[in-house]
Structure 1
Amino acid sequence: MAKDKLAGVPTLTRNEPAPKPVATVPVQPKPLSTRPSFGEPTRRDTAAALPFGRQNYTLMLIGIGVILAGFFIMSLDKEEFGFGFLGLTLGPIVVMGGFMLEFFAILARPKA
């Protein structure tokens, strides 16, 4: 079994000379860049680097404001334990609208 694995591998004995190496083509080094390395760094487009656009951030801030307004509306309810219309109906609807606006602001594609 060991002979089968070594069948294609040439073996050397003391009487045989080593095989001559195959001539290789010399590799030309790449020319160095002529740009100075100490100059001003290249600037990338900042709009492409940011994940959201101005419209997205504006909608996010408006959504946070709507959510806070909904919690404020819930706090205005004068019924015991907040069981009035403001605390159980209007406030939660406004908060849910704010969260839906946040969801839209995150998923909206930024304008170029």
Structure 2
Amino acid sequence: MGEKKRKQEAKKNETFIFEKKNYTFMLIGIAFIAVGFILMMGGGSDDPNVFNPEIYNWRRIRLAPALILIGFGIEVYAILLNPTKGK
């Protein structure tokens, strides 16, 4: 009888590690990372004997990696965020 009661109490105390606020920031971080990789695409050449300088433009060299790093930073923040502390 005592074991059944302990199981019921354990079920009542079950909580998720993350809450809605954490998942919101995680989705925002994933969006930043996805946009960064999308911006990094392209710039190749169909002919291997022809060099395409478009691969070295500002969007692929500066903007896309910056967005990816910002996205990873947002992901770290989302994991470390304690939503119950602000209540």
TM over 0.5: yes
Query: What interval of TM-score do these two structures reach, taking the shorter chain for normalisation?
Result: 0.5 to 0.7
| Structure 2: unaligned runs, 5 residues or longer | 45-51
Q: TM-score, normalised by structure 1?
A: 0.54
Quote the RMSD (CA, aligned, Å). 2.7
Bigger helix share: 2
Aligned residues: 75
Identity rate, percent: 30
Shift of 1:45: 4.1
| Structure 1: unaligned runs, 5 residues or longer | 1-32
Give the match's secondary structure for 1:95.
Answer: helix
Superposed counterparts of 1:3-14, under 5 Å? none
Runs of 4+ in 1 over 6 A off after TM superposition: none
- Assess, with a 3 A threshold, how the Cα gap between structure 1 residues 104 and 77 changes in structure 2: closer, same or farther: farther
Greater length-normalized contact order (CA 8 Å, ≥ 6 residues apart): 2
Q: TM-score, normalised by structure 2?
A: 0.68
Structure with larger Rg: 1
